[in-house]
């Protein structure tokens, strides 16, 4: 199994790359990152957050790598081929890498990937504390918040452009010190 980094000494300037998990080591790193965030840190699940969706055909597991270390993960999958709607979920970034925009890069990667694969819209249930983050990436709230896994979440959506092209949001736009927030 590939070791998931917990070192905070990785420079914020280390290169960030997002890609679909390939091979058992990267897939296991993806699951381990999710366990660390959703089971150990947030206590949303007792032992593991894996579910039947992880094993369904069409489900994609992505990793965000800082330097050579997997430090983030996201899962995405088509919901309905007729409507070309996709869902992104289980976005997990280790705490020491949340300030270096890895989460934003993973969201952009998921959106672009779903678009390249023919998606027209992507949805996600977002914890309320992360709604503004998603809005800065071009997502919009749909309806009222509701409880999911014991935590309030907001359904959000984003339109997907042909071949995965989306509007670029500069990392500086995500920095609340620069946005007047």
What DSSP letter does each residue of 46-63 carry, written as one string? SS----GGGGSTT-EEEE
What would the two tokens of residue 17 be? 């790359």
Q: Which domains does the chain have, with CATH numbers?
A: 16-179 (3.40.630.30)
For residue 118, the SS3 value is: coil
**In the predicted structure, residue 65 carries a pLDDT above the cut 50:** yes
Across 82-93, average pLDDT: 95
Instruction: Give the pLDDT of residue 172.
Output: 42
CA distance 29 to 44: 19
For residue 17, the SS3 value is: strand
**In the predicted structure, residue 158 carries a pLDDT above the cut 80:** yes
Considering the chain, what percentage of its residues have pLDDT values greater than 90?
77
- Using 50, 70 and 90 to split pLDDT, how confident is the model at 176? very low
Query: pTM for this structure?
Result: 0.83
CA distance 119 to 122: 7
Instruction: Give the pLDDT of residue 12.
Output: 55
């Amino acid at each position: 199994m590939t070791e998931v980094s917990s070192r905070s000494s990785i420079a914020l300037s280390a290169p960030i790359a997002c890609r679909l998990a390939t091979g058992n080591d990267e897939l296991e790193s993806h699951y381990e990152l999710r366990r660390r965030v959703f089971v150990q840190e947030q206590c949303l699940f007792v032992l593991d957050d894996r579910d039947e969706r992880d094993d369904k055909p069409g489900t994609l597991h992505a990793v965000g790598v800082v330097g050579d270390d997997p430090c983030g993960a996201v899962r995405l999958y088509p919901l309905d081929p007729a409507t070309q709607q996709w869902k992104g979920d289980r976005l997990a970034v280790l705490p020491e890498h949340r300030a270096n925009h890895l989460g934003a890069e993973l969201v952009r990667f998921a959106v672009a990937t779903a678009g390249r694969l023919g998606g027209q819209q992507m949805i996600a249930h977002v914890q309320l504390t992360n709604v503004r983050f998603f809005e800065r990436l071009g997502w919009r709230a749909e309806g009222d918040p509701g409880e999911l896994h014991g935590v309030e979440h907001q359904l959000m959506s984003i339109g997907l452009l042909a071949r995965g092209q989306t509007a670029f949001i500069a990392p500086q736009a995500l920095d609340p010190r620069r946005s007047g927030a």
